[in-house]
Chains A and B, each alone.
Chain A
Amino acid sequence: MHKKLTLLFALSIGIALIPGTTPAASFFQGKTVRIIVGTTAGGGFDAYSRVIARHMGKHIPGNPTVIVENMPGAGGLIAGKYLYSIAAPDGLAIGNFNSAQIMAQIFGREGVEFDARKFEWIGVPVKSNVVCALVKKKGVTSADQWMDSKTPVKIGGMFAGNTTSDVPRILHEALGLPIQLVEGYKGSAEIRLAAESGEIAGGCWQWESIQTTWGKAVQSGDVAIVLQATDKPLPELPKVPLAGHLAKTQEAKDLIKAGITDPATITRLYSLPPGTPKERVRILRKAFQETLKDPEFLAEVKKSKLAVDPLTGEDVERIIKGLFGLKSSTVAKLKEILYPK
């Protein structure tokens, strides 16, 4: 009996000494992990984070409670700054903000109070894919028609630095598409409404959002997806031309990749404060990927019609490294296109 206990004791010490397992488990045990979302409650970012929060705890050793905190403001810059300089780098604070903030740093925009290269990346639950959707009643239903249009096609946008504005600007420059960008709409829902009422022809933003909010109209043909700014055709849109294929020059292709495709892929970023212990980064990365494969998680996202198409933390790191390694001429060109004086 006594021997058995000693053995058990030794064994547990032994396990405890294997790096990473027990210490981490004992670290997360009884703790609360906070996912800090850079938007208000109710939006898409919040929806993903809340589902992830409900299931991620069981994939982290020690099964901590995972909760969501909303820290909206400045398009995610406030949450980014919080994660960068205020949150303790202990693995208990996960940030969730938009990759637009990383582009803002690359373009040297105002208000970026962090260095994105120093964050630890956990992953992305879904690669975003940007497409352009136009209402049929405005007459343009294919990329060819658009290209040949005598008058500029009115595209609704929100503001410079947002996908809805940036994508048309880049497409106009890279492909020579006739576009009149009308900015100032508050959200893609308002752009959709303006297109339905005939004020504008349509807009360009995330397919996973268009698919849910405008899916019926796409099916019925009232809305046509005319262009996809993705690496390869989306499974649901095999025949829609790729923006990259329409590009005639390498420069145009580069602009589309650096300005649209890559930032879109990592739109919904999950990250940890700089200096989080590597071991905890590893655990959380693993837990994140496991969560995204968890059948209960998948059942829930299916019900909410949220798409899942994950990237690992390593993938994200690679893409971000690539974005920071862009040729300075590409960055300058993009800056000129996106933020016209």
Chain B
Amino acid sequence: MDAVMFEMVQAFGSGFLLIFDPTTFSLMLLGIGIGFAVGILPGLGGPAALALMLPFIVKMKAVEAFAFLLGMASVTNTTGDITSILFGVPGESSSAATIVDGHPMAKKGEAGRALGAALMSSLVGAIFGAFALALAIPIVRPLVLILGSPEFFMLAILGVTFVASLSGGSLLKGLIGGGVGLFLATIGLDPISGVPRFTFGQLFLWDGIGLVPITIGFFALPEVIDLAVQGSSIARGEVGKLGGVKEGIQDTFRHWWMVIRCSAIGTLTGIIPGMGPATTQWLAYAHAVQSSADKGRFGKGAVEGVLGPGAANNSSLGGLLVTTIAFGVPTSVMMAILLGAFLIHGLIPGADMLIPELKGGHLALTFSFVWTIVFSNIITVAVCFIFLKQLVKVTRIRGSLLIPLILLLIYLGAFTEKNAIEDLLLVFLFGILGWIMQWLRWPRPPLILGLVLGPLAENRLFLSTDNYGLAWLGRPGVLVLIALALGGVFYSVLRTKRSRAARRDEPVPAPETAVAGGFPKMTRSTLFSLFITAGLALALWQSRRFNFRSGLFPWTICGSVFILSIFQFGRDLMGKKEKGGMESQAEAGQEILPHLVRSRTMGTFGWFGGFLATVWLLGFSAAGPLSVFLYLKITSREKWPLTLILTLGTWVFLYGIFDLALHVPFPAGKLYAWLSF
């Protein structure tokens, strides 16, 4: 035993030394630099960037290649949080949860504090995840092997119960949102019999709708519109002194145990194949809400709402690597690409990675991953703190300059995930949906959670039943998870009741859709509930010919959500009011005239659609600069020099980097195809 321990410690040390080789370290720095930029740029995501970098690692040694790739992967979530906080646009699809409270903080002028909290919790999370990986290495195989399909299924269900905490004031809307997410997850080929479900003859829909385009559109567009409506910079109020940063760092330590618990949530969900950082951020956010005494603060700039996801999306990397390294089972898109890197270097994930080099394994290499994560995050966070002042200044740039660039990056990011032009349409549609939901005070996170957990739940339910009959319900792991799920729900209900009782005396703020009297009335809320109800009815009709296997999940979900949505429709029809969802924000800044709000909103929708149309007609390289130019000249009325500089910059960025250097297969514009005939 001692000998084994000694080998472990020795490998841990060698792993440390490995990354301090000059070449390796420089490549790690390069990776960090790229990851930094990719994280900051909204839309562009870590997985896509990792895939684009794969060709460059062929000439590197294995240690160098992983230092490079992991350096990049480690920091995208950290810097992604920065964008989420400052712009309200997810820097990564895995840092969307940071928006919910981080962005309201930035609007209130507390950007410094939010960033301080996000960076510090990211660092804590990353280090937690890295050391969890190191500690898990000796015991990971038996640990993961006790988990079977039934446990995976129950974990997905446990995740779904978190919807309750993500619903803010309106549980019914949250449940409907979560259900709609679960339903949307059934779009595509049924995972078992391969029958297309809700694909309308579109091959593109066979693999389901991608999480990246949906998350980006869903959260980014409402903020872009808000920015346009305000017609100002992101920070409405006075940007406070940067002293807030220190406050944010201290917040991390004030809520130390919550940060640690969220880090643990991140690492553990990372281990489960099919969950990944996109899920983890919401679970952590829900946990932050749940463990707070005053839930009313959430969505309006509660620092815990930044700390939780900030820690979890970083700590998940360690967990993701556990399963990937020990079993060669990729737990996320990013890990699948990393497995490709293993392949290129002839490394076989599995037991070998956990055996010391002297015995023919790669243990020191594995430990070098741990150190890469740790140092990449320390370096990144340090750099961020140094330049924080400059970063925060971004919130004071006028929105009219930022909007066209953000719109373009949203589309670019959605495209690079699968190189599919159809994804741009998804961004557009979900952008509109996200905006409507925010406008009508529907909580958005449950929908995303349902969408991520849907496939895992469906697959594993059938696998459990096929493998064990109904006996799986009696497995100890399953029982524990059922107890946890029930406990969580009861706890949440109890707390909500208690806090509601405490708040009963407070006056309820009138929502914008207030309706006089109890007369049935068609308001926009009613219309939206009707729209959802009709959509679900249509889906049920569409699914009538599915066989039992393909149908069971969609029927169950659509059926129950259909009933819930009828209730909601009834409530809206009767003009029943409720507190706004957790995302309803107290807007700072001056009042804007209603007709201006309307024209600016419609204008931004127009540009959003226009960008899509130009990309489709002219291709990215031409459409990008053109759209930016037109927006700056027509809507923003910028001066010529600035307009030209930004237009040129866009062109260099799109054509030079993406087209020429990285060979991103931008489709040629439709217009060229028409003209050549």
Contact = CB atoms under 8 A, between A and B. Distances in A.
A303 B346 contact: yes
B417 to A, nearest CB: 9
Interface in A67-98: 67-75, 77-78, 81
B327 A304 contact: no
A73 B350 CA distance: 28
Contacts of B55: 50, 68
Contact of B203 (A46, A74, A304): A74
- Interface size class, chain B: 35 or more
Nearest to B462: A184
A47 B340 contact: yes
A212 to B, nearest CB: 6
Nearest to B329: A189
A212 B342 CA distance: 11
Which of B51, B149, B190, B462 lies at the interface centre, i.e. has the most chain A CB atoms within 10 A of its CB?
B149
Interface in A164-206: 180, 182-187, 189-190, 192-194, 196-200
Contact of A216 (B345, B351, B459): B351
Nearest to A199: B148
B329 A192 contact: yes
B344 A69 contact: no
Which one of B333, B337, B463 has the greatest number of beta carbons of chain A within 10 Å?
Answer: B463
Contacts of B348: 212-213, 215-216, 305
A282 interface: no
Closest 3 CB pairs of A and B: A42-B340, A41-B51, A74-B206
B459 A193 contact: no
A73 B418 contact: yes
Contacts of A26: none
B497 interface: no
Interface in B573-618: none
B459 A71 contact: no
A69 B145 CA distance: 37
Given A42-B340, A160-B193, A190-B273, 13 more contacts: A40-B418, A41-B51, A43-B336, A50-B54, A159-B190, A159-B193, A184-B462, A184-B463, A192-B328, A193-B329, A199-B463, A306-B343, A341-B547
A185 B455 CA distance: 11
B270 to A, nearest CB: 15
B58 interface: yes
Contacts of B52: 41
A71 B665 contact: yes
7 contacts: A43-B336, A70-B51, A180-B466, A184-B463, A185-B463, A189-B328, A192-B329
A161 B328 contact: no
Contacts of B345: 303-304
Contact of A42 (B58, B193, B339): B339
Contact of B467 (A113, A182, A303): A182
Interface string A277-307: 0000000000000000000000010011110
A197 B203 contact: no
B514 interface: no
Contacts of A198: 145, 148
Nearest to A197: B145
A215 B360 CA distance: 14
A34 interface: yes
A111 interface: yes
Contact of B337 (A41, A212, A215): A41
B1 interface: no
B476 interface: no
Contact of A78 (B196, B203, B329, B352): B203
Nearest to A213: B328
Given A74-B207, A111-B196, A186-B459, A42 B51 contact: yes
A83 B439 CA distance: 44
B344 A304 contact: yes
A124 B663 CA distance: 25
B343 A47 contact: yes
A102 to B, nearest CB: 16
Nearest to B663: A67
Interface string B182-211: 000000011111101000000110110000
B60 to A, nearest CB: 12
A40 B339 CA distance: 12
A44 interface: yes
A200 B148 CA distance: 10
B146 interface: yes
Contacts of B58: 50, 54, 300
Nearest to B54: A41
Contacts of B419: 69-72
A304 B343 contact: yes
B96 interface: no
A159 B192 contact: yes
B189 A159 contact: yes
B17 interface: no
B192 A190 contact: no
A255 to B, nearest CB: 20
Nearest to A78: B203
B467 A190 contact: no
Nearest to B458: A184
Contacts of A161: 194
